[in-house]
Structure 1
Amino acid sequence: MTPPTRTLRQIIATTDIHSSLAGSTGMLAHLHAAREGALVVDCGDFFEGTGIYRLGQGRVERRVLLSLFDVIAPGNHGWSHHFEPGLRELTVCANAVDSETGELLFRPLQKAEVGGRRVAVTAVIGEQAFSAIPLGDRVGQRATDPVRALRDLLIAHHHEVDSWVVLSHSGFEHDLRLVDECPFLDVVFAGHCHSDRYGPEQVGTTLIVKGAELGAGYALAEPAGVGWAARTGCFPQSAPLPAELEPIGEQIEALAAELAIPLGRLADRWRNVVPDRRELLEAIAVRLRTELGAEAVILNETVLRETPLGDELCLADLLSVEPCGNRLVHVPLPEDADPDLPALLPVLAERAGPLVTVPDPLPPGVRAVLTTDYLAEGFPAGPAHRLGHPLGLAVRHTLTDTPFDEGAVS
């Protein structure tokens, strides 16, 4: 249960922060002040997505979570961080289990008194989100049916709680279907989807609501009458940090200074715009095929993020455009089989999102594909041959229109 020193009246939820902590003083100060009367929760993907994470390796995100949050859900990004001491104790999830034993990987729920009600806060991760976790990070683990998991929790704890709140890392559309099957839920805080659907929306007596991603806003729910009320809000753009958060602010500022390193003037095509990620990815794929002599190139759109660019590319821009540090690999296709690449593409897209292929369409008889180490996990082929190039290097030289053999990005 929540420590008795705090009288909780509401629940405030963030989602999909993706390490967007540069210029986050408004968010940090707001959550710090809200903690006095609110249970502070996160719906997953707090990690990965900016240079703050790439340089700091999650250390500052960890400090923020341990300082400000009461309950967190695991997302596909930063999954392994949730097994670290401290963060594991904050994490709840009802449907992530050990593949062999069926034992839960995290505690199933946290109970808290909110507005005089006994509230159970749990979490679920959707099948698509779980499958998007790199294979090496989820060996021996699986996600079970969230509906069954939530119903089992209800049976086990219905006599102990008055209200059920779910932190969902599944997507808003998925959550609409979830509440049809679990009408006993009171509030679902949505995450994972990065859609423009925020709610609150009501299905029966259940409210579904999502805060703005990337640290822009939050969702809030509180008891009202015999049910619950929900709304969304935006964090202030900036605010003075309380003394106890100043060391975190200093750590963020130090990382931001490192990220200001200039990398070159942007090509006219990409200057002072927010590049469309598919357009940029197509340009990258064409250059990769031409300059590295690849037979075919397959990349997924979600490997890039749309980021506003100015006149010059700096390290912060590059690590925001390509936030996950993917490496380029050659995947040889089996010679003793006729690989049906067109049939494989929908399978890859189901896990990783829309694809860019060069050439398009792919010709018959392709024997090797240039792709990322992440996407290569979905190929039914032998071991991939790692190249010396990170994908970020190709992004950099496409944006600045310079040869691939100039500079490097780790």
Structure 2
Amino acid sequence: MTAGRSVRQILATTDVHSALDAGASFLGHLHEARSDGLLVDCGDFFEGTGYYRLGKGALERDVLLSLYDVIAPGNHGWAHYFEPALHQRTICANAVDDSTGIPLFRRLRIVEVAGRPTAVTGVIGLQAFDSIPVVQRAGQRAVEPVKALRELMLAHHHEVDSWVLLSHSGFEEDLGLADACPFLDVIFAGHCHSDHTGPARIGSTLVLKGRELGVGYAVATYTPDRWVGRTALFSDTADTTPSVLPPELVSVRDRIAAFDAQLAEPLGRIAEQYRNQQLDRRALVQDLADRLRSGLGRDAVVLNETAFRTTILGEVLTTGDLLAIEPFANSLVEADIAPAHPHDTEALLAHLTERVGPLVTSPDPLPAGLTSVLTTDYLADSCLGGRARPTGLNLGSAIRSTLTNGDDH
């Protein structure tokens, strides 16, 4: 894994979400960092932009296999981590087979960092695991991270001098992990998309996170008495990043450029209220929900904000814009409501919000006596028991129509 390299530090990215538009500077910096660094990722490298939708994960796979030494799985792109080559590099201590309890991935790797045998392990938070599409995690479950980490430490404490965790749980959750597992020296955080990047210290444990979406990274280095860390942006070193890339990365860069041309294709003039500004995600979702309810004659529409992303819009909607806003290829379905909820819409919304985050409904409040709602296939499968019927509509087409008022010229 690190043959021929003397590793003195660990560099971590997280939640890249297929944001490969940084191109050569992103790739060049990571390639240069490999000379004396262990490169790790804390999950969700896949899904989130048009690069993933067009390439179906091939670009991301090649970047991970060309540059990274150890990766932790995230809830997005979960199935990719079981591909043979990626599976060999993936670690996770708390994802197991539901019936046997056998770990789904290797639980740790031991790497020499700055002359110290260092255990590198990973966990996925329970909320993150539950947000994996149901069909992808069938027959699997996540063990409580603290329990899994303590068991791992007891089994391997005599083999290592340091413990480093790649966590896909959220920064606040990781502060709690640091408190519960003081044997951890470094926690690289992920999953949360928060402004908290650290470094923070809980006792002797260092918690830090690189900026998401390919914007930044975190670095941990061992000094004579403790681990120290910092965060940085890839743009900070763009002027000093080498322009010469190895052949495998030149191929990736060229394929990114080819996709750029497809993503620039125009789809229609953007409606005035959305034009030339940062997209207000909630305003779009509310507009869309209202249009779907009135246009399709449905009693109610429920959409989760996390199915959408924000981006900066110009005069014309492009394929890249649309795939950035709706990167997950969701379909719209008519989902049945469980018998316990038709007359308690507040309980229904509380149940859904706990699972998927903020919601937008039309109407607001929802009327009592609902038996079904128009929603996404993801929300129906993950939170409503999969009791749904297809409508023949996909979310992306509905968003396109809303943003352009039906103008496709």
The sequence identity of aligned pairs, in percent, is 56
Q: In the TM superposition, what is the alpha-carbon distance from 1:241 to its structure 2 partner?
A: 4.4
CA distance in 2, matches of 1:234, 1:82: 26
* Residue 243 of structure 1: aligned partner: 246
Superposed CA offset, 1:140-185 (max 9, x none)? 0000010011111111100110000000000000001111110010
User: Relative to 1, partners in 2 of residues 1:21 and 1:380: Cα closer, same or farther, differing over 3 Å?
Assistant: closer
* Residue 87 of structure 2: aligned partner: 88
1:6 and 2:5 matched: yes
* Residue 179 of structure 1: aligned partner: 178
* Residue 18 of structure 1: aligned partner: 17
CA distance in 2, matches of 1:378, 1:36: 43
Superposed CA offset, 1:7-62 (max 9, x none)? 00000000000000023211110000000100000000000000000010000000
TM-score (normalizing by structure 2): 0.96
Q: Does the 8 Å CA contact 2:343/2:368 hold for their aligned counterparts?
A: no
* Residue 72 of structure 1: aligned partner: 71
Comparing 13-22 with 270-279, greater Cα deviation is found at 270-279
Superposed CA offset, 1:259-282 (max 9, x none)? 111000101100111111111100
1:213 and 2:212 matched: yes
TM-score (normalizing by structure 1): 0.96
In structure 2, list runs of 5 or more residues that go unmatched: none
* Residue 312 of structure 2: aligned partner: 308
What are the within-5 Å matches in structure 2 for residues 1-400 of structure 1?
2-236=1-235, 237=238, 240-244=243-247, 245-333=249-337, 338=342, 340-380=344-384, 383-400=387-404
Comparing 42-51 with 370-379, greater Cα deviation is found at 370-379
CA distance in 2, matches of 1:135, 1:122: 25
CA distance in 2, matches of 1:91, 1:382: 30
User: Relative to 1, partners in 2 of residues 1:228 and 1:379: Cα closer, same or farther, differing over 3 Å?
Assistant: closer
SS in 2 for 1:213: coil
User: Relative to 1, partners in 2 of residues 1:337 and 1:258: Cα closer, same or farther, differing over 3 Å?
Assistant: closer
Give the partner amino acid of 1:208: V
User: Relative to 1, partners in 2 of residues 1:67 and 1:398: Cα closer, same or farther, differing over 3 Å?
Assistant: same
Give the partner amino acid of 2:144: D
Comparing 111-120 with 342-351, greater Cα deviation is found at 342-351
Superposed CA offset, 1:341-388 (max 9, x none)? 321211211121100011000011112200000001245467311111
Q: In the TM superposition, what is the alpha-carbon distance from 1:255 to its structure 2 partner?
A: 1.2
Give the partner amino acid of 1:391: L
Superposed CA offset, 1:225-278 (max 9, x none)? 221010001113575241321101111111111111100010110011111111
CA distance in 1, matches of 2:373, 2:3: 58
Give the partner amino acid of 1:317: D
SS in 1 for 2:321: helix
Q: In the TM superposition, what is the alpha-carbon distance from 1:337 to its structure 2 partner?
A: 8.0
CA distance in 1, matches of 2:346, 2:186: 41
